[in-house]
Structure 1
Amino acid sequence: MSSDTTDSTRFVRRIPEGEDRERLTCNDCGFIAYENPKIVVGSVVDVAGQVLLCRRAIEPRRGFWTIPAGYMELGETVEEGAVREAREEACADLALDGVLAIYSIARIGQVQILFRARLASPGFAAGPESLEVRLFDWADIPWDDLAFPSVHWVLRAWREAGPGPLGAPRGNPPVDRRGTTPLEAAL
Protein backbone atom coordinates (compact mmCIF):
# COMPACT_ATOMS: atom_id res chain seq x y z
CA MET A 1 0.00 0.00 0.00
CA SER A 2 1.16 3.51 -0.73
CA SER A 3 2.15 5.82 2.08
CA ASP A 4 -0.68 8.24 1.26
CA THR A 5 -3.40 5.67 2.07
CA THR A 6 -5.90 7.08 4.53
CA ASP A 7 -7.35 5.24 7.49
CA SER A 8 -10.72 5.10 5.74
CA THR A 9 -9.28 2.99 2.91
CA ARG A 10 -7.30 0.73 5.24
CA PHE A 11 -10.34 -0.24 7.33
CA VAL A 12 -13.02 -2.54 5.92
CA ARG A 13 -16.05 -4.26 7.38
CA ARG A 14 -15.60 -8.01 7.67
CA ILE A 15 -16.05 -10.86 10.13
CA PRO A 16 -12.62 -11.37 11.70
CA GLU A 17 -11.52 -14.84 12.76
CA GLY A 18 -12.97 -15.69 16.16
CA GLU A 19 -15.74 -13.06 15.88
CA ASP A 20 -19.42 -13.58 15.10
CA ARG A 21 -20.26 -10.27 13.41
CA GLU A 22 -18.83 -7.71 11.03
CA ARG A 23 -16.23 -5.43 12.55
CA LEU A 24 -14.29 -2.47 11.21
CA THR A 25 -10.91 -4.12 10.62
CA CYS A 26 -7.57 -2.81 9.34
CA ASN A 27 -6.64 -4.51 6.06
CA ASP A 28 -2.93 -4.11 6.86
CA CYS A 29 -2.56 -5.41 10.41
CA GLY A 30 -5.94 -6.92 11.37
CA PHE A 31 -6.58 -4.38 14.17
CA ILE A 32 -10.27 -4.34 15.08
CA ALA A 33 -11.79 -0.90 15.70
CA TYR A 34 -14.68 -1.90 17.96
CA GLU A 35 -17.74 0.30 17.70
CA ASN A 36 -19.60 0.20 20.99
CA PRO A 37 -22.64 1.98 22.39
CA LYS A 38 -22.23 5.45 23.85
CA ILE A 39 -23.15 6.02 27.49
CA VAL A 40 -25.51 8.88 28.27
CA VAL A 41 -25.85 10.12 31.85
CA GLY A 42 -28.38 12.53 33.25
CA SER A 43 -30.80 13.37 36.01
CA VAL A 44 -34.41 14.04 36.78
CA VAL A 45 -33.98 16.97 39.13
CA ASP A 46 -36.76 17.24 41.70
CA VAL A 47 -37.28 20.68 43.25
CA ALA A 48 -40.15 20.57 45.77
CA GLY A 49 -42.13 18.17 43.59
CA GLN A 50 -41.42 19.98 40.35
CA VAL A 51 -39.07 18.75 37.64
CA LEU A 52 -36.26 20.76 36.05
CA LEU A 53 -36.28 20.69 32.25
CA CYS A 54 -33.97 22.29 29.69
CA ARG A 55 -35.04 23.51 26.25
CA ARG A 56 -32.32 22.31 23.87
CA ALA A 57 -30.21 24.94 22.07
CA ILE A 58 -28.42 22.32 19.97
CA GLU A 59 -29.33 19.59 17.52
CA PRO A 60 -30.70 17.04 17.57
CA ARG A 61 -34.17 18.23 18.59
CA ARG A 62 -33.27 21.91 19.06
CA GLY A 63 -36.10 23.75 20.82
CA PHE A 64 -37.48 20.62 22.49
CA TRP A 65 -37.42 19.95 26.24
CA THR A 66 -35.25 17.37 27.99
CA ILE A 67 -33.70 16.55 31.34
CA PRO A 68 -30.08 17.66 31.84
CA ALA A 69 -28.16 14.79 30.26
CA GLY A 70 -25.43 14.00 27.77
CA TYR A 71 -22.54 11.75 26.83
CA MET A 72 -20.12 10.60 29.48
CA GLU A 73 -16.51 11.76 29.13
CA LEU A 74 -13.44 9.58 29.49
CA GLY A 75 -12.02 9.66 32.99
CA GLU A 76 -15.28 10.33 34.83
CA THR A 77 -17.73 8.15 36.69
CA VAL A 78 -21.41 8.01 35.73
CA GLU A 79 -22.18 10.13 38.80
CA GLU A 80 -19.58 12.74 37.89
CA GLY A 81 -20.91 12.83 34.34
CA ALA A 82 -24.50 13.41 35.46
CA VAL A 83 -23.42 16.22 37.79
CA ARG A 84 -21.27 17.79 35.04
CA GLU A 85 -24.11 17.66 32.50
CA ALA A 86 -26.47 19.47 34.91
CA ARG A 87 -23.82 22.12 35.51
CA GLU A 88 -23.24 22.58 31.74
CA GLU A 89 -26.89 22.60 30.66
CA ALA A 90 -28.69 24.12 33.65
CA CYS A 91 -25.92 25.81 35.70
CA ALA A 92 -27.21 23.58 38.51
CA ASP A 93 -25.29 22.00 41.36
CA LEU A 94 -26.78 18.55 42.06
CA ALA A 95 -26.96 16.01 44.83
CA LEU A 96 -27.75 12.59 43.38
CA ASP A 97 -30.24 10.33 45.19
CA GLY A 98 -29.50 7.20 43.17
CA VAL A 99 -30.06 5.50 39.83
CA LEU A 100 -33.65 5.95 38.68
CA ALA A 101 -33.46 4.18 35.30
CA ILE A 102 -31.19 2.38 32.88
CA TYR A 103 -32.34 2.33 29.26
CA SER A 104 -30.98 0.50 26.24
CA ILE A 105 -31.54 2.46 23.04
CA ALA A 106 -30.37 -0.04 20.42
CA ARG A 107 -31.66 2.08 17.52
CA ILE A 108 -28.95 4.69 18.13
CA GLY A 109 -26.39 2.64 20.09
CA GLN A 110 -26.86 4.23 23.51
CA VAL A 111 -27.10 3.08 27.09
CA GLN A 112 -28.67 5.74 29.30
CA ILE A 113 -28.06 5.82 33.04
CA LEU A 114 -30.41 8.33 34.63
CA PHE A 115 -30.44 9.48 38.25
CA ARG A 116 -32.97 11.09 40.53
CA ALA A 117 -31.42 14.26 41.91
CA ARG A 118 -32.08 17.46 43.80
CA LEU A 119 -30.37 20.83 43.87
CA ALA A 120 -27.32 20.87 46.17
CA SER A 121 -27.37 24.67 46.18
CA PRO A 122 -30.10 27.06 45.12
CA GLY A 123 -30.35 28.42 41.62
CA PHE A 124 -30.19 27.31 38.03
CA ALA A 125 -29.99 29.03 34.64
CA ALA A 126 -29.66 28.16 30.99
CA GLY A 127 -26.17 26.99 30.09
CA PRO A 128 -24.70 27.23 26.57
CA GLU A 129 -26.56 24.11 25.37
CA SER A 130 -29.97 25.31 26.64
CA LEU A 131 -32.30 28.03 25.37
CA GLU A 132 -34.09 28.11 28.73
CA VAL A 133 -34.41 26.09 31.92
CA ARG A 134 -37.63 25.85 33.92
CA LEU A 135 -39.37 23.97 36.70
CA PHE A 136 -42.59 22.17 35.75
CA ASP A 137 -45.42 20.75 37.81
CA TRP A 138 -46.45 17.29 36.58
CA ALA A 139 -49.62 18.64 34.92
CA ASP A 140 -47.63 21.31 33.04
CA ILE A 141 -44.87 19.15 31.54
CA PRO A 142 -44.82 19.88 27.77
CA TRP A 143 -45.31 16.22 26.78
CA ASP A 144 -45.70 16.95 23.06
CA ASP A 145 -42.48 18.95 23.07
CA LEU A 146 -40.18 16.48 24.85
CA ALA A 147 -37.06 15.71 22.85
CA PHE A 148 -36.69 11.93 23.13
CA PRO A 149 -38.72 8.81 24.04
CA SER A 150 -36.47 8.15 27.03
CA VAL A 151 -37.39 11.56 28.50
CA HIS A 152 -41.03 10.43 28.50
CA TRP A 153 -40.01 7.12 30.09
CA VAL A 154 -37.82 8.60 32.84
CA LEU A 155 -40.33 11.29 33.81
CA ARG A 156 -42.94 8.56 34.28
CA ALA A 157 -40.42 6.50 36.27
CA TRP A 158 -39.73 9.55 38.48
CA ARG A 159 -43.44 10.01 39.08
CA GLU A 160 -43.93 6.31 39.91
CA ALA A 161 -40.90 6.23 42.25
CA GLY A 162 -42.14 9.17 44.30
CA PRO A 163 -40.00 10.90 46.92
CA GLY A 164 -39.14 7.82 49.01
CA PRO A 165 -36.27 5.38 48.67
CA LEU A 166 -35.51 4.25 45.15
CA GLY A 167 -36.06 0.61 44.32
CA ALA A 168 -34.42 -1.19 41.44
CA PRO A 169 -33.73 1.05 38.44
CA ARG A 170 -36.47 1.14 35.83
CA GLY A 171 -35.77 -0.30 32.40
CA ASN A 172 -37.21 0.10 28.94
CA PRO A 173 -40.99 -0.08 28.83
CA PRO A 174 -42.45 -3.43 27.74
CA VAL A 175 -43.58 -1.98 24.39
CA ASP A 176 -39.99 -1.01 23.49
CA ARG A 177 -37.66 -3.40 25.35
CA ARG A 178 -34.77 -2.76 22.93
CA GLY A 179 -35.24 0.95 22.41
CA THR A 180 -35.94 0.67 18.70
CA THR A 181 -39.05 2.84 18.39
CA PRO A 182 -38.41 6.37 17.03
CA LEU A 183 -39.92 9.32 18.90
CA GLU A 184 -42.98 9.82 16.69
CA ALA A 185 -44.09 6.19 17.08
CA ALA A 186 -43.34 6.11 20.80
CA LEU A 187 -45.79 8.85 21.76
Structure 2
Amino acid sequence: MTTRSEGMQPHHPELPPLTPIRGGHHRCTKCDRIIYSDPKVAVAAIIPMDGGIVLLKRAIEPQLGKWSFPSGYVDRGEKLEKALEREVLEECGLVVDVIGLVGVYSDEGQAVVLVVYHADVVDGELMAGDETSDARVYAVDAMPELAFEHDDRIVQDWLEGLGMRRQ
Protein backbone atom coordinates (compact mmCIF):
# COMPACT_ATOMS: atom_id res chain seq x y z
CA MET A 1 0.00 0.00 0.00
CA THR A 2 0.97 3.59 -0.47
CA THR A 3 -0.17 6.93 0.81
CA ARG A 4 -1.82 9.54 -1.34
CA SER A 5 0.35 10.90 -4.14
CA GLU A 6 0.69 14.59 -4.86
CA GLY A 7 -2.04 15.77 -7.22
CA MET A 8 -4.51 12.97 -6.47
CA GLN A 9 -7.94 14.22 -5.54
CA PRO A 10 -9.22 12.89 -2.20
CA HIS A 11 -12.59 11.16 -2.34
CA HIS A 12 -12.76 10.27 1.38
CA PRO A 13 -12.21 12.92 4.06
CA GLU A 14 -9.99 10.55 6.09
CA LEU A 15 -7.69 9.80 3.10
CA PRO A 16 -7.38 5.99 3.28
CA PRO A 17 -4.24 4.30 1.94
CA LEU A 18 -4.04 3.36 -1.73
CA THR A 19 -2.82 0.16 -3.36
CA PRO A 20 -0.68 0.52 -6.51
CA ILE A 21 -2.13 -1.16 -9.62
CA ARG A 22 -1.34 -1.25 -13.35
CA GLY A 23 -0.36 1.81 -15.33
CA GLY A 24 0.83 3.83 -12.34
CA HIS A 25 -2.72 4.10 -11.01
CA HIS A 26 -3.93 3.27 -7.50
CA ARG A 27 -6.95 1.62 -5.92
CA CYS A 28 -8.60 2.96 -2.76
CA THR A 29 -8.42 0.37 0.03
CA LYS A 30 -11.74 1.58 1.48
CA CYS A 31 -14.06 1.65 -1.55
CA ASP A 32 -12.09 -0.04 -4.38
CA ARG A 33 -12.29 3.09 -6.53
CA ILE A 34 -9.45 3.44 -9.07
CA ILE A 35 -7.53 6.69 -8.66
CA TYR A 36 -6.00 7.64 -11.99
CA SER A 37 -2.60 9.32 -12.08
CA ASP A 38 -3.43 11.67 -14.92
CA PRO A 39 -0.74 13.63 -16.74
CA LYS A 40 -0.14 17.30 -16.03
CA VAL A 41 -0.67 19.66 -18.96
CA ALA A 42 1.83 22.44 -19.64
CA VAL A 43 1.96 25.08 -22.36
CA ALA A 44 4.94 26.72 -24.05
CA ALA A 45 5.32 29.53 -26.58
CA ILE A 46 7.60 30.11 -29.50
CA ILE A 47 7.59 33.89 -29.77
CA PRO A 48 9.29 35.45 -32.79
CA MET A 49 10.84 38.83 -31.96
CA ASP A 50 13.48 41.06 -33.54
CA GLY A 51 14.61 38.39 -36.02
CA GLY A 52 14.88 35.61 -33.46
CA ILE A 53 12.83 33.84 -30.81
CA VAL A 54 12.37 34.57 -27.11
CA LEU A 55 14.24 32.27 -24.74
CA LEU A 56 14.33 32.36 -20.96
CA LYS A 57 17.10 31.25 -18.61
CA ARG A 58 15.49 29.07 -15.95
CA ALA A 59 15.86 30.21 -12.32
CA ILE A 60 14.16 27.07 -10.97
CA GLU A 61 14.53 23.33 -11.33
CA PRO A 62 14.28 21.31 -13.42
CA GLN A 63 17.16 22.42 -15.64
CA LEU A 64 18.15 25.41 -13.50
CA GLY A 65 20.34 27.82 -15.48
CA LYS A 66 19.46 26.44 -18.91
CA TRP A 67 17.48 28.14 -21.66
CA SER A 68 13.96 27.29 -22.77
CA PHE A 69 10.75 28.77 -24.10
CA PRO A 70 8.28 30.67 -21.92
CA SER A 71 6.18 27.89 -20.43
CA GLY A 72 4.20 26.70 -17.44
CA TYR A 73 1.46 24.49 -16.10
CA VAL A 74 -2.20 24.86 -16.97
CA ASP A 75 -4.47 25.38 -13.98
CA ARG A 76 -7.50 23.10 -13.59
CA GLY A 77 -10.35 24.49 -15.68
CA GLU A 78 -8.13 26.99 -17.50
CA LYS A 79 -8.27 27.28 -21.29
CA LEU A 80 -4.89 26.37 -22.84
CA GLU A 81 -4.49 29.63 -24.74
CA LYS A 82 -5.31 31.68 -21.63
CA ALA A 83 -2.76 29.67 -19.64
CA LEU A 84 -0.15 30.44 -22.29
CA GLU A 85 -0.94 34.16 -22.23
CA ARG A 86 -0.73 34.18 -18.41
CA GLU A 87 2.55 32.25 -18.27
CA VAL A 88 4.24 34.41 -20.93
CA LEU A 89 3.25 37.59 -19.09
CA GLU A 90 4.43 36.19 -15.73
CA GLU A 91 7.70 34.79 -17.03
CA CYS A 92 8.89 37.48 -19.43
CA GLY A 93 6.58 40.54 -19.33
CA LEU A 94 5.11 40.12 -22.81
CA VAL A 95 1.46 40.27 -23.82
CA VAL A 96 0.97 37.83 -26.68
CA ASP A 97 -1.64 36.79 -29.19
CA VAL A 98 -1.78 33.05 -29.79
CA ILE A 99 -1.38 32.43 -33.53
CA GLY A 100 -1.50 28.66 -33.84
CA LEU A 101 -0.53 25.25 -32.56
CA VAL A 102 3.05 24.09 -33.15
CA GLY A 103 2.57 20.63 -31.64
CA VAL A 104 1.78 18.43 -28.66
CA TYR A 105 4.71 16.62 -27.05
CA SER A 106 4.96 13.80 -24.54
CA ASP A 107 7.70 11.38 -23.59
CA GLU A 108 7.49 7.80 -22.38
CA GLY A 109 7.48 7.65 -18.59
CA GLN A 110 6.96 11.39 -18.15
CA ALA A 111 3.88 12.91 -16.49
CA VAL A 112 3.82 16.12 -18.52
CA VAL A 113 2.02 16.69 -21.82
CA LEU A 114 3.40 19.87 -23.40
CA VAL A 115 1.23 21.89 -25.80
CA VAL A 116 3.32 24.39 -27.79
CA TYR A 117 1.92 27.42 -29.57
CA HIS A 118 3.30 30.09 -31.88
CA ALA A 119 2.48 33.48 -30.32
CA ASP A 120 3.14 37.03 -31.47
CA VAL A 121 3.98 39.96 -29.19
CA VAL A 122 1.27 42.62 -28.97
CA ASP A 123 2.55 44.59 -25.96
CA GLY A 124 4.97 44.59 -23.06
CA GLU A 125 8.72 44.70 -22.59
CA LEU A 126 10.90 41.60 -22.55
CA MET A 127 12.26 41.02 -19.03
CA ALA A 128 13.04 38.18 -16.65
CA GLY A 129 10.22 37.14 -14.31
CA ASP A 130 10.21 35.39 -10.94
CA GLU A 131 11.07 31.96 -12.35
CA THR A 132 13.65 33.21 -14.87
CA SER A 133 17.04 34.84 -14.42
CA ASP A 134 17.36 36.25 -17.94
CA ALA A 135 15.21 36.83 -21.02
CA ARG A 136 16.74 37.28 -24.48
CA VAL A 137 16.05 36.98 -28.16
CA TYR A 138 18.23 34.48 -30.01
CA ALA A 139 18.50 33.89 -33.73
CA VAL A 140 17.45 30.31 -34.46
CA ASP A 141 20.92 29.48 -35.80
CA ALA A 142 22.65 30.98 -32.72
CA MET A 143 20.61 29.60 -29.82
CA PRO A 144 22.31 28.34 -26.66
CA GLU A 145 21.91 24.71 -25.60
CA LEU A 146 18.25 24.26 -24.71
CA ALA A 147 17.01 22.81 -21.41
CA PHE A 148 14.85 19.92 -22.49
CA GLU A 149 15.35 17.05 -24.89
CA HIS A 150 12.30 17.92 -27.00
CA ASP A 151 13.15 21.66 -27.36
CA ASP A 152 15.18 21.23 -30.57
CA ARG A 153 12.36 19.16 -32.08
CA ILE A 154 9.88 21.91 -31.17
CA VAL A 155 11.98 24.55 -32.97
CA GLN A 156 12.25 22.29 -36.02
CA ASP A 157 8.50 21.66 -36.04
CA TRP A 158 7.84 25.40 -35.80
CA LEU A 159 10.22 26.16 -38.67
CA GLU A 160 8.68 23.42 -40.82
CA GLY A 161 5.25 24.90 -40.10
CA LEU A 162 6.57 28.19 -41.50
CA GLY A 163 7.96 26.37 -44.56
CA MET A 164 11.57 26.73 -43.36
CA ARG A 165 14.29 24.36 -42.17
CA ARG A 166 16.89 24.81 -39.45
CA GLN A 167 20.41 25.22 -40.84
User: What is the TM-score of this pair, normalised by structure 1?
Assistant: 0.74
Structure 2 unaligned regions, length at least 5:
1-13
Structure 1 unaligned regions, length at least 5:
1-5, 16-20, 165-187
- Is 1:152 the counterpart of 2:152 in the alignment? yes
State how far apart, in whole Å, the 2-side matches of 1:68 and 1:80 are: 14
Partner in structure 2 of residue 172 of structure 1: none
Q: 1:95 to 1:163 in 2, by over 3 A?
A: farther
Whose helix fraction is larger, Structure 1's or Structure 2's? Answer: 1
- The one of 105, 113, 116 equivalent to 2:115 is 113
Q: Give 1:22 deviation, angstroms.
A: 6.0
Query: Over aligned residues, Cα RMSD in angstroms?
Result: 1.9
Partner in structure 2 of residue 161 of structure 1: 161
1:21-170 matched pairs, under 5 angstroms: 21=23, 23-142=25-144, 145-162=145-162
Q: 1:101 to 1:14 in 2, by over 3 A?
A: closer
- Is 1:12 the counterpart of 2:24 in the alignment? no
Alpha-carbon deviations, 1:104-163, whole Å to 9, x = none? Answer: 222212211100011111411100000000001122101xx2110121111112222228
Q: Give 1:85 deviation, angstroms.
A: 1.1
Q: Give 1:48 deviation, angstroms.
A: 3.8
Regions of 4+ moved over 4 Å = none
State how far apart, in whole Å, the 1-side matches of 2:135 and 2:128 are: 5
Q: Which has the higher mean CA deviation after the structures are superposed, 100-109 or 47-56?
A: 100-109
Identity value in percent: 27
Q: 1:122 to 1:63 in 2, by over 3 A?
A: same
Q: Which has the higher mean CA deviation after the structures are superposed, 49-58 or 118-127?
A: 118-127
Q: 1:44 to 1:22 in 2, by over 3 A?
A: closer
Whose strand fraction is larger, Structure 1's or Structure 2's? Answer: 2
